[in-house]
Amino acid sequence: MSKFNKKKGSELPAVNTASLPDIVFMLLFFFMTVTVMKDSTIKVENTLPNASETKKLEKKDRVIYIYVGKPTPEYQKVFGTEPKIQLNDKFASVSEVGDYILQERAKKAQELQNVLTTALKVDKNANMGLISDIKQELRKVNALKINYTTYEGDAFNNLNN
């Protein structure tokens, strides 16, 4: 047992780990600030429809999002209950979609500009008229690759209400 009874005088000082938490906290704050959870708050009701034959939307940097749906209750007083288009953080009309796509496309790196996908996040209760208008606008600015974003599930659930 004498092995463990070291003399107090000759004890090596322990490596000071007091700054370790600081380093880790620094990392923590770095990750907390860098990871973007959501680029925009969604101001429209956005219950996506279900579909089973889906493909994954890889590579976030190549996607432009368009949200469509009824404004949420807090915005209904101002914007009514008809489905609206939301681009970035604000409501927009159909005619602004083309400009928005061109703007977003210009922001992307040169080599990505031809491989962009437009993800349509549309509430399942929206009418197709609005979607058709958006599609026309997308065709005009040559944004032909689109993705109807859906939840994974049985497509027949969409018909229930």
Partner 1 sequence: MARRGGAPEVNAGSMADIAFLLLIFFLVTTTIETDAGLDRMLPPFEPPTEEPPIIKEKNIFTVNINKDGQLLVEDELTNIKDLRKKAVAFLDNGGAPSGSPEYCSYCQGKHDPASSDNPDKAIISLKNDRETKYGTYITVQNELVGAYNELRNREAQRLYKQNFTDMEAAYLNPETPSSIRDGLKDKVKKIQDLFPQKLSEAEAAPPGTIN
| Beta carbon nearer to partner 1, 26 or 78 | 26
Contact between 54 and partner 1 per CB under 8 A: yes
**Closest distance between partner 1 and the C-beta of residue 101, in Å?**
12
List the one residue from 20, 102, 112, 115 that touches partner 1 (CB under 8 A).
20
Written as six digits, the tokens of 151 are: 């939840």
Contact between 44 and partner 1 per CB under 8 A: no
Backbone region of residue 69 per phi and psi (left: phi > 0; alpha: psi in -120 to 50; beta: other values): left
Q: What is the strand order of the sheet 117-122 is part of?
A: 90-92, 84-87, 63-69, 117-122
Question: For residue 88, what are the contacts with CB-CB under 8 A and spacing of at least 6?
Answer: 39, 40, 100
Site string for partner 1, 77-116 (x = CB under 8 A): ----------------------------------------
| Beta carbon nearer to partner 1, 112 or 155 | 155
The DSSP 8-state label assigned to residue 122 in this structure reads: E
Q: How far is CA 31 from the centre of its chain?
A: 18
Written as six digits, the tokens of 12 are: 């090596």
CA 24, CA 35: separation in Å to the nearest integer?
16
Contact between 25 and partner 1 per CB under 8 A: yes
Q: By CB under 8 A, name the binding residues for partner 1.
A: 8, 17-18, 20-21, 24-25, 27-28, 31-32, 35, 37, 49-60, 63, 68, 117, 119, 122-129, 131-132, 135-136, 138-140, 142-150, 152, 155-156, 158-159
